[in-house]
Amino acid sequence: MAVPTVKKIREYLGESYQESDEEIIQLYIETHQFYRRLQKEVKASDLMYEYTNKAGAKNLVKNPLSIELTKTVQTLNNLLKSLGLTPAQRKKLASGQGGDDDDDFDDF
């Protein structure tokens, strides 16, 4: 997986890049670094842990890091949406259906 850089993201944005995108770009880079750290931790540990509750019963529970990893992926996707860089948004632009209008009226 390629590590995103500010330069690469600006290139992806192309002509749609605006200076106001800088904050979101920086947030994406930092969140991606956190994602990579979490991913390494999850790979190095078990996905399920044995947990003993107050009554002494033992249960298997999900590794809390795997839950955080999922949340981080969602955050990364939302940041890409904010920049207009999701595959669906790029496909829409390529087909000439671009625009700022967020409703699905034309699809109806």
pLDDT in tens, 82-97: 999 888 887 777 776 6
Distance from C-alpha of 18 to C-alpha of 10, rounded to nearest angstrom: 9
Core vs surface per residue 22-53: b (16+ CB within 10 A) or e: eeebeebbebbeebeebbeebeeeeeeeeeee
Question: Mind listing the pLDDT tens digit of every residue in the chain (108 residues)?
Answer: 589 999 999 998 988 899 999 999 999 999 999 999 999 999 999 989 899 999 999 999 999 999 999 999 999 999 999 999 888 887 777 776 655 555 555 554
N residues, the chain: 108
Distance from C-alpha of 50 to C-alpha of 80, rounded to nearest angstrom: 36
Distance from C-alpha of 71 to C-alpha of 74, rounded to nearest angstrom: 5
**Residue pLDDT, tens place only, 20-32:** 999 999 999 999 9
